[in-house]
Amino acid sequence: MSKTFRGSYGVTVTPFTENGESIDENALKRFLDWQLEAGSPGVIILGTTGEFLTVSDDERARYVETTVKHVAGRMDVLVGTMNASTKNAVRYTREAEALGVDGFMIAPPYYYTPTDDEIFDYYRAVSEATSLPIMLYNNPVTTNVDMSAKLIARLTRAFDNVRYIKEASMDVGRVYDVIEATDGVMNVFAGERPVESFLLGAVGYVNPYANYIPLASTRLWDALVDGEIEEAKTIQKLIASFDHIIAEGHPTYGHQCYSKALAASQGYPVGDVRPPLTQFAALGAEGVERRARIVAIIDELNAYVAQRAAARQGG
């Protein structure tokens, strides 16, 4: 494996045309340019935020190809190739590698609540199908399985290209547990609480916020690496307020429709979500009001990041 992944990677939305009929390639290219301008080290497409379950196989191939060609090596492109079927996960992985991606983020097979041995065999099949790095994705909320540090260590020992994990178990202590269980071989990316995860040994952050604050989400991790812990804490606190607003009374709305609505608010329209997800338009006045509150915080956050950047240049 030649690539080394570090920093804040956005799990990006999939831009759709009106009524969600197809992937909007023009909007995608503008959106990717925005990520590049923000200095993002990479994007992860076709994750949960990217509505991978609603994208057809043909759309998947075109989306991956368009992204890789447009980015042209200027930042990393990882792709979610998880599937409830091991055969499909292997096929998606092989196809994406042939299209030139840099790596994969792969959750365990969902719905079935597989055993550790079943998860191990799934990752073995995928690992043997590619020479590229694999980022495991531990997200018990969506997959209904929580991969223990012991299982992660087993996978790390068995497969040379399994060297990354997005740890989103909601247990920040798991970052330390995974690093200890793997003798420091596994590179942990935070799925939440990036500041605390960094202090426990995480090397990066995988987040949906780059969809509307790419500069701030990139800076958050860079600030940690630079030793500017208080700056990172301030950014994290402001980001956390987004979640509280979105979840107030309606936790099932999720980040997808808000991520798209907020990207549009920043000048990068990417369409709405596909069914069965709740579309932002269906939220009516309530959604508009929540978006306005979040946009006000985005303005505050962008101003803070700009102020800090100016201070660094002046100092």
Q: Are 8 and 205 in contact (CB under 8 A)?
A: yes
Above 80 in pLDDT, residue 2? no
Question: pLDDT, tens digit, for every residue of 26-58?
Answer: 999 999 999 999 999 999 999 999 999 999 999
Residue-wise pLDDT tens digits, 127-163: 999 999 999 999 998 899 999 999 999 999 999 999 9
Tell me: pLDDT of 93 over 80. yes
As a whole number, mean pLDDT of residues 108-125 equals: 96
Q: In 10 A of CB 58, how many CB atoms?
A: 10
Please determine, for residue 111, whether its predicted confidence score (pLDDT) is greater than 60: yes
Q: What pLDDT was estimated at residue 162? A: 98
Tell me: pLDDT of 261 over 80.
Answer: yes
Give yes or no for residue 73 having a pLDDT over 70.
yes
**Of the options 3.20.20.70, 3.90.110.10, 3.90.1150.10, 3.30.565.10, the CATH number for the domain spanning 7-226:** 3.20.20.70
Domain boundaries, the chain: 7-226
Measured at the CA of 48, the angle between CA 96 and CA 126, to 5 degrees, comes to: 40
What letters, b where the CB count within 10 A reaches 16 and e where it falls short, cover 190-203?
Answer: bbbbbbebbebebb
pLDDT above 70 (res 253): no
Q: What is the pLDDT of residue 212?
A: 98
Q: pTM to 2 decimals?
A: 0.96
Between helices 254-265 and 229-247, what is the axis angle to 10°? 110
Q: Pick the closest to residue 206 from 40, 94, 74 (CA basis).
A: 40
Between 256 and 218, the more confident residue is 218
Which pLDDT tens digit goes with each residue over 199-217?
999 999 999 999 999 999 9
Predicted pLDDT of residue 299: 98
> Among this protein's residues, is 29 annotated catalytic?
no
**Confidence at residue 255, expressed as pLDDT on a 0 to 100 scale:** 80
Q: What 3 state SS string does the chain have? A: CCCCCCEEEEECCCCECHHHCCECHHHHHHHHHHHHHCCCCEEEECCCCCCHHHCCHHHHHHHHHHHHHHHCCCCEEEEECCCCCHHHHHHHHHHHHHCCCCEEEECCCCCCCCCHHHHHHHHHHHHHCCCCCEEEEECHHHHCCCCCHHHHHHHHHHCCCEEEEEECCCCCHHHHHHHHHCCCCCEEEECCCHHHHHHCCCCEEEECHHHCCHHHHHHHHHHHHCCCHHHHHHHHHHHHHHHHHHHCCCHHHHHHHHHHHHHHHCCCCCCCCCCCCCCHHHHHHHHHHHHHHHHHHHHHHHHHHHHHHHHHHHC
Residues 175/201, Cβ–Cβ less than 8 Å: yes
For 278-307, the pLDDT digits (tens) are 899 999 999 999 999 999 999 999 999 999
237 is an active site residue? no
Contacts of 128 (CB under 8 A, 6+ apart): none
Query: Lowest mean pLDDT: which of 66-70, 109-113, 161-165?
Result: 109-113
- Catalytic residue, chosen from 122, 137, 258, 268, is 137
CB of 136 closer than 8 Å to CB of 106: yes
Q: Which of 166, 209, 253, 260 is catalytic?
A: 166
Overall average pLDDT of the 61-87 stretch: 98
Predicted pLDDT of residue 1: 53
pLDDT of residue 247: 86
Mean pLDDT across the chain: 95
Q: How far is residue 236's CA from residue 192's CA, in Å, rounded to a whole number?
A: 10
Q: Phi and psi for 151 in degrees, rounded to 5?
A: -65, -40
